[in-house]
Amino acid sequence: SPSRDRNFVILIMSVDAANRRVKSIAAHVGANASATNSFGSYRGAASGFAKSPDDVVIVSACRTPITRAKRGGLAATPADDLIAAVLQASVARGKIDVNDVGDIVVGSVLGASSQRANECRIGMFLAGFPKEVPVRTTNRQCSSGLQACADIAAGIKAGYYDMGIGAGVETMTANPMKWEGGINPRIASSSDAQNCLIPMGITSENVAEKWGITREAQDTMAARSHARAANARASGRFKAEIVPIHTKTAPDPKTGAGGGANVIVSEDDGIREGTTVQSLAKLPAVFKKGGSTTPGNASQVSDGAAAVVLARRSYAEARGLPILATWRSWAAVGCDPALMGIGPAIAIPAALSAANMTVDDVDLYEINEAFASQATYCVEKLGLDSEKVNVNGGAIALGHPLGATGARCLATLIHEMHRRGAKTGVVSMCIGSGMGMASAVSID
């Protein structure tokens, strides 16, 4: 009967999935006991990484423009429309079958938890996904978008599905940063717990003071970020990664007048062309009297979304999907909450070690510029060549939509790697309350 045939097909599919899961576990258990990473091991510049049918590959990576909160081009665009846009673009760019998507994980930091989860479900329906495809949100502060990709990579590697989407979204216009509710009095018993409540700008000042990161050094990084981003925008280098958004203009945030006009937003609008160290030096410190962190050398408050499609290599090759890069490792580590900005200096070596790499094996880095103080420290601490770091500018110029940043950085990195012919790249960021995260990718 049709019912019996259907049940038989479901049984066969379940057995096949179970077999893949068992093989995956067996491969991990049977690996060399000293191995710490199942995504591949670097064999040097000449040989790179060995290709495996079980590799986790990236078949699409895209983002919306990143725009200024309240005053930017996406200020009137709701979160579900932002996530719908990047999911729909991912389907078209990756040439994927939406029915094969095993899971969608969306990084989100500031949106109300239950509501944002529902908005992401709405967004996937608006993008044309069937109801059988699941979706959830994840929140690891500023690394949420990268954590979403790591969750999908782990799900594929574990054999639960062959393809998934890691994404991120934030509308800091609608959901500004704030603390809700009271403070637990028990934090008085733990200095680390107390330090979780230190404003991010003060942690920036702490890093600058502890390691002598001067105001001039911070303004130099900020000016370079704007100059590189302005050059990248003018030369069209962001076009391959950006999904233009059809939306409406926002009312004036002060008067409430205007707004509602149809518009297509296709470029980042926080970049300030012509920014110099001299112009930045005129801005006052805003977090600490006599401090060095200013609105000009800190990341912008922004709106935006990004999405990355990951798949098992054998699945992607069998269906002729484009393979942009291969996921090679990731690491999340903790650090002192009072110095949270140093996270990348700890996470990058951990992610590289897992892939048998060193900092010198990496062709390009995307390190989130939460603050110029911490980004400067991390570059100096790791001894990185500044010509390999944020070559198209960073969050100081582009903006930092918290939940989307990790996926945005990954998209920016991969497209620039292709443009330059680079083989290896790393994404990293610091994380509020004292953590860092990093991920390594390679191109065949």
In terms of DSSP H, where are the helices of 72-112? 79-94
- CA 253/CA 236 separation, integer angstroms: 30
Percentage helix, strand, coil for the chain under 3-state DSSP, each rounded to 5: 40, 20, 40
Active site residue 400: yes
Catalytic residue among 62, 120, 142, 409: 142
- CA 354/CA 328 separation, integer angstroms: 9
- CA 105/CA 400 separation, integer angstroms: 19
Burial of 231 (C-beta count, 10 Å sphere; 0-12/13-18/19+): middle
User: Could you tell me which of 220, 105, 240 has the C-alpha nearest to residue 164?
Assistant: 105
Q: Are 300 and 172 in contact (CB under 8 A)?
A: no
- CA 329/CA 326 separation, integer angstroms: 10
Give 263's strand partners: 247
Give 107's strand partners: 138, 168
Catalytic residue among 62, 149, 378, 430: 430
- CA 179/CA 95 separation, integer angstroms: 41
Q: Are 280 and 223 in contact (CB under 8 A)?
A: yes
- CA 389/CA 393 separation, integer angstroms: 9
- Give the largest Cα separation in the chain, rounded: 80
Helix (H, G, I), strand (E, B) or coil at 329: strand
- Tracing tokens 């008085």 back to the chain, one arrives at 188
Pairing type for strands 104-107 and 135-138 reads parallel
Active site residue 196: no
Catalytic residue among 120, 335, 400, 409: 400
Query: In the numeric block, which tokens belong to residue 254?
Result: 């002060």
Long-range CB contacts (within 8 A, 24+) of 187-196: 192/336, 192/337, 192/434, 195/336, 195/337, 195/338, 195/434, 196/337, 196/433, 196/434
What is the CB-side half-sphere exposure of residue 6 using CA atoms within 13 A? 3
Helix (H, G, I), strand (E, B) or coil at 179: coil
Active site residue 226: no
Query: Looking at the annotation, which residues are catalytic?
Result: 142, 400, 430
